[in-house]
Amino acid sequence: MNNGQWTVISRARFLSLALFLFIILMAAPCLADFRFVVMGDSRGRDDGINTEVLEPLLEQVKSEEPEFIVFVGDLITGTKHSDEHRDRLVRWKKIVEKYSIPVHIAVGNHEVTSETSEDILRSLFGELTYSFDHDNAHFVILDTDRYKDFHRLGQEQMEWLKKDLGENKKDVIFVFGHEPAFPYKYHIGDSLDKYPSERDELWDIFKGHGVDAYFCGHEHLYNNSVHDGVSQIITGGAGARPHASPEDGGFYHYIVVDVTDSGEYTITVKRLNFLL
């Protein structure tokens, strides 16, 4: 349509145009078009994991057919007893593996309870600060809860982040950590905002390298906000007791992220589909 008028294309011209577009599309490389899920905070009280919520959520997640899950910390309620702590993490890992979906984790404060915690985590999940590429997107996992140094990344990790983002060639950048940079209300002063100058430095790195979104947990709710053009999505609804009313984001949930071959992405919040 042009200025309110229909443009008429003859059948011959239409067929020629269709053939031309078909050839172009067939010759073009197959770019990314994928889905992943983000969820966090599945810890429980008695044996460390709220399986009554986590397992039904994973059943729903499986039906979404994501290529992988990123879990933003607080897998378990930790303990200072190393053997019990390991047992809880092993149990969490076995629960998730039943659903045959690859999982990448970020470390939460409840996974780091003693000087042995980080070694246990590495033995089960690998490095605690890392990055990877998937199709047209770059994924960065940060450690916001290092033993005896919670609520900050530290300069070594900050320098690693700048180097990693500086070498990135992908169109979309997603970063993940456990603690919010800008907590909604229930962990204000108990998140990355405890050290505001370091938090601001981190956010400047995000802005300077074109980070699209930062996903985190820690607060047991859903919240989506934008700070200087960078989105922060809090998703702490995989089993830990909600910090808010359902109307204020306090419901059990996960997030589906769909990324297109053009570098656009959409975020959809999915609630647990039954009431406990």
Judge whether residue 30 has pLDDT over 60.
no
- pLDDT value, residue 24: 32
- DSSP-derived secondary structure for 103-121: EEE---GGG--STTHHHHH
In the structure, what pLDDT confidence band is assigned to residue 47 with cuts at 50, 70 and 90? confident
* Cross-strand partners of 174: 139, 213
Structure tokens at 63: 């039906």
Judge whether residue 273 has pLDDT over 90.
no
Do β-strands 213-216 and 69-71 pair in parallel, antiparallel, or remain unpaired? Answer: unpaired
- DSSP-derived secondary structure for 128-182: SSEEEEETTEEEEE---EETTEET---HHHHHHHHHHHHT---SEEEEE-SS-SS
Judge whether residue 17 has pLDDT over 90.
no
Judge whether residue 20 has pLDDT over 70.
no
Of the chain, the percentage scoring pLDDT greater than 70 comes to 88
In the structure, what pLDDT confidence band is assigned to residue 1 with cuts at 50, 70 and 90? very low
Mean per-residue pLDDT, 24-46: 73
- pLDDT tens, residue by residue, 54-110: 999 999 999 999 999 999 999 999 999 999 999 999 999 999 999 999 999 999 999
Mean pLDDT of the chain: 89
Mean per-residue pLDDT, 164-179: 98
| Coil vs helix vs strand at 34 | strand
- pLDDT value, residue 23: 33
Mean per-residue pLDDT, 143-171: 97
In the structure, what pLDDT confidence band is assigned to residue 274 with cuts at 50, 70 and 90? confident
Least confident window among 14-23, 117-126, 205-214: 14-23
Judge whether residue 21 has pLDDT over 70.
no
| Domains located in the chain, CATH noted | 31-271 (3.60.21.10)
Contacts of 242 (CB under 8 A, 6+ apart): 220, 221, 250, 251, 252
Judge whether residue 152 has pLDDT over 80.
yes
- pLDDT value, residue 46: 78
Mean per-residue pLDDT, 100-129: 97
Integer Cα distance of 236 and 39 in angstroms: 7
- pLDDT value, residue 8: 30
Judge whether residue 176 has pLDDT over 70.
yes
| Coil vs helix vs strand at 122 | helix
Centroid of chain to Cα 71: 6
